[in-house]
């Protein structure tokens, strides 16, 4: 099989490779960018590396079923993803207004993907190819794989596997599971039930042995206590086979796929062009411009914050690439015409979690390594990460290495001051992003986030370093309004605290959106934390949410 420089997105490109058909067609709600930060590209490159032929249909016209027939009927399956973001989040703001742009579309133009894209794309496939298996993946399918609260419907919806009529869901970072699925189909083993592939969700008529039973889906849809109980079980038994009755069938939630360091490094060695597909001509794709000179150094996040999807999508296990693997990728970036000497990030969900390890190999039942306190088994290695940044900055043609993704400041502050000073002097651009999210203890408990180092002390330490070095650097705090536990009193108190520390009012205040399957969405719907049992005030009215969000918007009189 001829391996393509550019993955085909048209039939002519497929034929130019000498392919008469493709094994797999991937449908994505994003414009197609061949870069390891874009899920469709990762899956396509992984399957091609395994010897399969793959075509990608990017942002099909969802009103025209013929738009998904570009490559004809695939030999194995259709892979469907909404893209790098949930399509409802891509279409609507926290206040349920239609967004004016989409950074994953050419020129950032909104409206190129439908709402509930996974279901819509699946219906297109079913209308044209009823007998072709459908495999769902990406963040939308991953975080809707079981019954979940949907903010836009203000109701609990059933698993997207049922609503889409797909065959299987690959959840999390699914390149391992998708290869297993492709090989089973190619070898004629697909009809076996249950399939029991790690990192997948499937439906079977009979409950297999060894599965932990969740509350029935019918109860979860109608009863808030059953819904909270389900999520307590889910978070406490994620590494076990789980099953949920639905009608006369069972939704099987297989344990996560385990990714190794070698898996991650081999993935990043694949021949990504790191470019927008040439069919887009000179069109910009804003999301790509933000990350084209950045490096993903690791996967996973130990924080377990309740509002974040990462713990259920990436997992808490940190998998870090070696320096050599990262330097190989920098070599590829250096050859690109858009590279101007600046590596804009070497990081992950929180950049300073690179190199973290666990004394018990991540084999524990804690949902978070940091909440309610720092786990004694967590081994941090921030000096290794800062050394990596420094070594990368010495490479030929590299002028600067800075961190664009931000750091978990309270972990970073708990390291040697000389390491912090080296980082601030050499690897902070104009500003360093940090995410305290809130300053109120009750709200932070609802977020399952405790500051392990005082925010004001970290800010003082940071500015003392910049003053000593004679450089201008700024902290950019990300904050959140409307989260469970937060009322007007808590917002006003946070505003005062932030002003006292930073002497300005940051614009980076995000209105909380209860994303599907996150703990915060369970608290928002049920009114209590399913893990601790603590009850929290929840502001659900649009008026109340808007008033909270406006607390940080100063009038001209207040500015004077």
User: Which stretch of DSSP H or E encloses residue 162?
Assistant: helix 160-164
Strand-pairing partners, residue 132, are: none
pLDDT tens sequence across 130-176: 999 999 999 999 999 999 999 999 999 999 999 999 999 999 989 99
Q: Which residues contact 63 (CB under 8 A, 6 or more apart)?
A: none
Neighbours of 195 (CB within 10 A): 18
Q: What is the pLDDT of residue 554?
A: 60
Q: Secondary structure of 160-212 in the HEC alphabet?
A: HHHHHCCCEEECCCCHHHHHHHHHHHHCCCCCCCCCCCCCEEEEECCCCCCCE
Please check whether residue 111 is in contact with residue 102, taking contact to mean a CB–CB distance below 8 angstroms.
Answer: yes
pLDDT at position 508: 77
Domain with CATH 3.80.30.20 in the chain: 293-559
Fold classification of 11-200 is Rossmann fold (3.40.50)
Number of other residues whose CB lies within 10 A of the CB of residue 556: 6
Residues ≥6 apart with Cβ < 8 Å to 373: 450, 452
Work out the angle between the directed axes of helices 382-393 and 417-427 (0-180°, nearest 10).
Answer: 30
pLDDT at 556 (0 to 100): 42
Q: How far apart are CA 560 and CA 411, in angstroms?
A: 36
CA distance 175 to 111: 28
For 407, the 3-state DSSP assignment is strand
pLDDT, residue 395, reads 96
Q: Where are the alpha helices (DSSP H) in 248-399?
A: 261-268, 286-291, 310-313, 323-334, 382-393
Residue with tokens 């928002």: 524
Q: 10 Å Cβ neighbour count for 247?
A: 11
pLDDT the model gives residue 1 = 64
Residue 119 β-bridge partners? none
Cβ contact 528:228 at 8 Å:
yes
The alpha helices in 314-403, defined as continuous H runs, are 323-334, 382-393
User: Are the C-beta atoms of residues 369 and 316 closer than 8 Å to each other?
Assistant: yes
Please give the average pLDDT of every successive group of 10 residues along the chain, which has 560 residues.
84 95 98 97 98 98 96 98 97 95 97 97 97 97 97 97 97 95 96 94 96 96 96 93 96 95 97 96 96 96 92 88 97 95 93 95 90 94 96 96 93 90 95 95 95 94 95 94 97 95 87 96 97 96 94 60
Q: Which residues contact 148 (CB under 8 A, 6 or more apart)?
A: 156, 157, 159, 516, 517, 521
Token pair for residue 64? 């025209």
List phi, psi (to 5°) of 114: -80, 160
> What pLDDT sits at residue 560?
42
* Domain spanning 293-559: CATH superfamily: tm_1862 like domain (3.80.30.20)
Task: Please write the tens of the pLDDT for every residue from 316-358.
Answer: 899 999 999 999 999 999 999 999 999 999 998 889 999 999 9
Q: What is the mean pLDDT of the chain?
A: 94
Domain with CATH 3.40.50.280 in the chain: 11-200
Tokens of 154: 């203000």
83-110 in b/e form (b: 16+ CB < 10 A) is bbbbbbbbbbebeeeeeeebbbbbebee
Length of the chain, please? 560
Which helix (DSSP H) or strand (DSSP E) does residue 339 occupy? none
HSE-up (13 A, CA, CB side) for residue 555: 2
Would strands 319-320 and 77-81 be described as parallel, antiparallel, or unpaired? unpaired
Residue 311: per-residue pLDDT: 80
Q: What is the distance between the alpha carbons of residues 528 and 255, in angstroms, rounded to a whole number?
A: 26
Return the pLDDT at 4.
77
DSSP-derived secondary structure letter, 528: B
Q: What is the rounded CA–CA span in Å between residue 307 and residue 305?
A: 6
* Strands, E assignment, 119-184: 134-136, 148-150, 155-157, 168-170
Which of helix, strand or coil describes residue 89?
Answer: helix
Q: How many CA atoms within 13 Å lie on the side-chain side of 358?
A: 18
Q: How much is the pLDDT for 126?
A: 97
Percentages helix, strand, coil for the chain (3-state, rounded to 5) are 35, 15, 45
Q: Quick one: tokens of 543?
A: 């008026």
CA angle (272 as vertex; 270, 278 as ends), nearest 5: 155
């Amino acid at each position: 099989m001829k391996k393509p420089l550019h993955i085909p997105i048209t039939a002519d490109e497929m034929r130019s490779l000498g392919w008469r058909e493709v094994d797999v067609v991937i449908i994505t709600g994003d414009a197609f960018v061949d870069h390891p930060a874009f899920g469709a590209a990762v899956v396509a490159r992984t399957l091609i590396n395994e010897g399969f032929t793959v075509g990608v249909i990017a942002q099909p016209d969802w009103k025209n079923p013929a738009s998904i027939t570009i490559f004809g009927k695939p030999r194995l399956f259709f892979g469907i993803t909404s893209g790098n973001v949930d399509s409802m989040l891509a279409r609507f703001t926290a206040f349920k207004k239609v967004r004016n742009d989409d950074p994953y579309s050419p020129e950032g133009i909104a409206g190129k993907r439908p709402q509930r894209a996974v279901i819509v794309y699946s219906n297109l496939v079913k209308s044209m190819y009823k007998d072709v298996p459908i495999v769902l993946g990406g963040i939308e399918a991953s975080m809707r794989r079981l019954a979940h609260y949907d903010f836009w419907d203000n109701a609990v919806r059933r698993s997207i596997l049922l609503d889409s009529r797909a065959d299987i869901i690959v959840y999390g970072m699914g390149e391992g599971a998708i290869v297993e699925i492709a090989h089973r189909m190619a070898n004629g083993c697909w009809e076996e039930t249950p399939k029991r592939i790690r990192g997948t969700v499937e439906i079977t008529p009979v409950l297999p042995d060894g599965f932990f039973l969740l509350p029935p889906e019918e109860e979860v849809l109608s009863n808030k206590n059953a819904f909270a109980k389900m999520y307590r079980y889910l978070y406490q038994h994620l590494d076990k086979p789980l099953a949920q009755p639905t009608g006369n069938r069972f939704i099987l939630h297989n344990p996560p796929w385990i990714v190794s360091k070698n898996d991650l490094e081999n993935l990043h060695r694949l021949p990504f062009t790191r470019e927008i597909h040439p069919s887009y001509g000179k069109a910009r794709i804003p999301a790509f411009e933000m990350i084209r000179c950045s490096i993903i150094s690791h996967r996973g996040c130990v924080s377990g914050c309740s509002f974040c999807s990462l713990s259920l999508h990436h997992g808490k296990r940190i998998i870090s690439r070696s320096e050599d693997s990262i330097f190989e990728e920098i070599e590829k970036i250096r050859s690109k015409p858009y590279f101007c000497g600046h590596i804009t990030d070497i990081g992950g969900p929180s950049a300073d979690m690179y190199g973290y390890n666990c004394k018990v190999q991540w084999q524990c039942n804690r949902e978070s390594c940091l909440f309610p306190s720092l786990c004694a088994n967590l081994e941090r290695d921030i000096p290794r990460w800062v050394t990596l940044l420094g070594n990368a900055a010495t490479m030929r043609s590299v002028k600067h290495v800075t961190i664009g993704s931000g750091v978990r400041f309270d972990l970073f502050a708990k390291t040697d001051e000389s390491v912090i000073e080296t980082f601030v002097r050499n690897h902070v651009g104009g500003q360093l992003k940090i995410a305290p999210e809130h300053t109120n203890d009750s709200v932070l408990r609802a977020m399952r986030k405790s500051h392990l180092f005082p925010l004001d002390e970290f800010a003082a330490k940071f500015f003392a370093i910049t003053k000593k070095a004679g450089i201008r650097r700024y902290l950019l705090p990300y904050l959140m309004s409307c989260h469970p536990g937060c009322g007007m009193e808590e917002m006003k108190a946070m505003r005062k605290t932030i002003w006292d520390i930073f002497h300005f009012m940051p614009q980076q205040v995000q209105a909380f959106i209860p994303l599907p399957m996150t703990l915060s969405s369970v608290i928002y719907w049920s009114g209590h934390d399913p893990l601790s049992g603590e009850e929290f005030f929840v502001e659900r009215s649009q008026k109340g949410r808007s008033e909270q969000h406006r607390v940080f918007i100063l009038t001209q009189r207040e500015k004077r």
